[in-house]
Amino acid sequence: NAGVMQNPRHLVRRRGQEARLRCSPMKGHSHVYWYRQLPEEGLKFMVYLQKENIIDESGMPKERFSAEFPKEGPSILRIQQVVRGDSAAYFCASSFGGTTSTGELFFGEGSRLTVL
Amino acid sequence: AQSVAQPEDQVNVAEGNPLTVKCTYSVSGNPYLFWYVQYPNRGLQFLLKYITGDNLVKGSYGFEAEFNKSQTSFHLKKPSALVSDSALYFCAVRDIWTDKLIFGTGTRLQVFP
């Protein structure tokens, strides 16, 4: 049973370009969470999605950032017009029924974005 | 608002000695508490959780955590540290209103041979 798969693992973009990060949850999981980890900082919640629905986007910056989890295919975190401050590790996590079921989240290996 | 605090940025311990990584929480209602570990350039791995029941929770790799309601703490412990335990440890609490995990700032554990 494959775990949470994230790609690309490493992504380099120049300022002003777009970054697309993909996340395939564990088989059978329909809840996806995105977190951002800045250097020497903890994990910050960004967005929580279920299939075709955004449940909580309270941690998403108001501009340039968007996320989706379509009926078919992976969840996508999209960052438009990247700036150097977007350089971070972005982690995706999935669960079967949200944290109300078994509680724990299963994390991917992360996508490390570097903005030049 | 639900939150956790990890008061130590780094904990140093000699191999074979017991280790403790501290976490305190602030929640409304009964807490769901978690510990995760992150090795360099890797994702987070679940170690253990407390939802209800015994205050002493046993998890992966010989780790355990003690839930203390009066002190609002959930410290991670291990009787005998290994060099391979060196990693970044995160405490987390479930936000009952929004169904997400809120993480602490992390504690870097360094185990010296």
pLDDT (tens digit per residue) in B10-25: 999 999 999 999 999 9
- The answer to whether A43 contacts B103, with C-beta atoms less than 8 Å apart, is yes
Q: Measure the CA–CA gap between A102 and A1, rounded to whole angstroms.
A: 18
- Residue A90 has which token pair? 């972005």
| Mutant choice from B38, B50, B52, B99 vs A, greatest count of A C-beta within 10 A | B99
- The answer to whether A99 contacts B100, with C-beta atoms less than 8 Å apart, is yes
**pLDDT digits (tens), chain B, 113 positions:** 789 999 999 999 999 999 999 999 998 888 899 999 999 888 999 999 998 888 999 999 999 999 999 999 999 999 999 999 999 999 999 887 777 899 999 999 999 99
How many beta-carbon pairs under 8 angstroms link A with B?
Answer: 61
pLDDT at A102: 60
Q: Does A26 touch chain B (CB under 8 A)?
A: no
The dihedral formed by the CA atoms of B58, B42, B98 and A99, expressed in degrees to the nearest 10? -40
Residue predicted with more confidence, A112 or A1? A112
Q: Does A54 touch chain B (CB under 8 A)?
A: no
pLDDT at A100: 56
pLDDT (tens digit per residue) in A13-35: 999 999 999 999 999 888 999 99
Q: List the helix and strand counts (H, then E) for chain B.
A: 0, 12
- The answer to whether B100 contacts A56, with C-beta atoms less than 8 Å apart, is yes
Fill in the DSSP letter of residue A68. E
Q: What percent of chain B has pLDDT over 90?
A: 78
Q: Measure the CA–CA gap between B106 and A11, rounded to whole angstroms.
A: 25
pLDDT (tens digit per residue) in A68-87: 999 999 999 999 999 999 99
- The arithmetic mean of pLDDT across residues A38-51, rounded, is 88
pLDDT at B98: 78
State the pLDDT confidence band at A101, using cuts at 50, 70 and 90: low
